[in-house]
Structure 1
Amino acid sequence: MPRQIFQLKISLAGVRPPVWRRVLVPGGYTLDRLHRVVQHAMGWRDCHLHSFEIEGRQYGEPDPDGELALRDELDVRLDAVLGKGSRFHYTYDFGDWWEHDLVVEDACAADPDERYPSCLDGERACPPEDVGGPAGYQALLAALVDPTHPGHREARDRVGDRFDPAAFDAGRAGTLLRRLC
């Protein structure tokens, strides 16, 4: 029987214009591997805590102090908790609180000539780390596009000259996914 592949759409909540990715991942992946897929597809650097919420249950890295009631993401396969049409959430950076809405758009048999995971499509660059969540990112974007904005120089210094909020390269994201996940 061929491996099952899930087509997921990952959308960053609370950000306009929308930032999203469409990826293909094996259904046999555990949630910790999906975490790495989300990180590399979106463009995050994996420097903060994260969690998944699926049907009201929280999953992530177990908290050694027991303060966070998270089920161990290493123990949960996607195909055991998700199916076509499933919707769930991924939160990254509990300070900035980046929420991602995920939907399983399709489930199909793996193509034996394809390597997984892969990135099919997406739009817009991922926000920089530690920018203050969706509100901070909106403020950064406003300062970047207006050279007369009092925070323009600081915003440009923060992200550098190469940051383009409209840019996204699905091919590059796919290469990172295959190399790092």
Structure 2
Amino acid sequence: MATTKSPPRRKTIKNVYQLHVQLLYVEPRVWRRLWVPDNLTLTDLDQVIQTAMGWTNSHLHEFEIDGQRYGMSLDEYPIDKPAKLDKDYRLSEVLSQHVKTFIYTYDFGDDWRHAVTVEQTLKPDPALNTWPQCLEGENACPPEDVGGVPGYMEFLEAVGDSTHEEHKAMRRWFGGLFDPKGFDINAVNIALRDVEI
């Protein structure tokens, strides 16, 4: 029986990655720039991206890095080549020198694909960058369960036009007003402090 490795919770930080995370195929463009230490597991990185983007982590996710898939255990969905468990791999192990971009997918139904670019590899500075941080970003992420890119475009059209026949229904469904340009870096960084990693 194969055993899975369980990384220790804390490991020395050798590098901090500056990542640019952009949600693909939506307008206005939704993106975040993050600092993340290399001792995070991919499960931890999922938590950081979820928090920074504004998702609620209500669905499955997967990373595609250097030709390999990493995700959660999906015993109920047998496939030919299952993903490796993301909890077993740290950023320091999967982000080699030649990895410049990778894909993070959230919610296999809505299929929110994010392009993640490794912009810089920095040396850790305990006064600045040894914990996950959001440096900047733009625009609100789409609401959960809105129906992917097509559903989000329809949602934006309806909530942005008070004469649209679905305007009231969409506002009620969302729970109020929706500002597609809404992004609060302070709120994101406060939320990141509470992420359990």
TM-score range, shorter chain: over 0.9
Give the alignment of 1:16-165 within 5 angstroms. Answer: 16-65=27-76, 67-68=78-79, 69-83=82-96, 86-114=100-128, 116-165=131-180
Q: How far has the Cα of 1:76 moved from its partner? A: 1.2
Q: How far has the Cα of 1:104 moved from its partner? A: 0.6
Q: Does structure 1 conserve the Cα–Cα contact (< 8 Å) formed by 2:69 and 2:84?
A: yes
Q: Output the aligned Cα RMSD.
A: 1.6
> What do residues 18-59 of structure 1 show as CA deviations (whole Å, max 9, x unaligned)?
000111100111100000011100011111011000122110
Q: How far has the Cα of 1:64 moved from its partner? A: 2.5
Instruction: Using structure 2 for the length normalisation, give the TM-score.
Output: 0.86
Where does the alignment leave 5 or more consecutive residues of structure 2 unmatched? Answer: 1-11
Q: How far has the Cα of 1:81 moved from its partner? A: 1.6
Q: Which moved more, 1:129-138 or 1:55-64?
A: 55-64
Q: Which moved more, 1:67-76 or 1:81-90?
A: 81-90
Percent of paired sites with the same residue: 44
For 1:145 and 1:136, how far apart are their aligned partners in 2? Answer: 14
Letter aligned with residue 148 of structure 1: T
Letter aligned with residue 83 of structure 2: L
For 1:162 and 1:131, how far apart are their aligned partners in 2? Answer: 15
Letter aligned with residue 178 of structure 1: R
Q: How far has the Cα of 1:83 moved from its partner? A: 4.4
Q: How far has the Cα of 1:160 moved from its partner? A: 2.7
What SS does the corresponding residue of 2:92 show, helix, strand or coil? Answer: helix
Letter aligned with residue 165 of structure 2: P
Which residue is 1:177 aligned to? 192
For 1:79 and 1:104, how far apart are their aligned partners in 2? Answer: 12
What SS does the corresponding residue of 2:194 show, helix, strand or coil? Answer: helix
Q: Does structure 2 conserve the Cα–Cα contact (< 8 Å) formed by 1:4 and 1:110?
A: yes
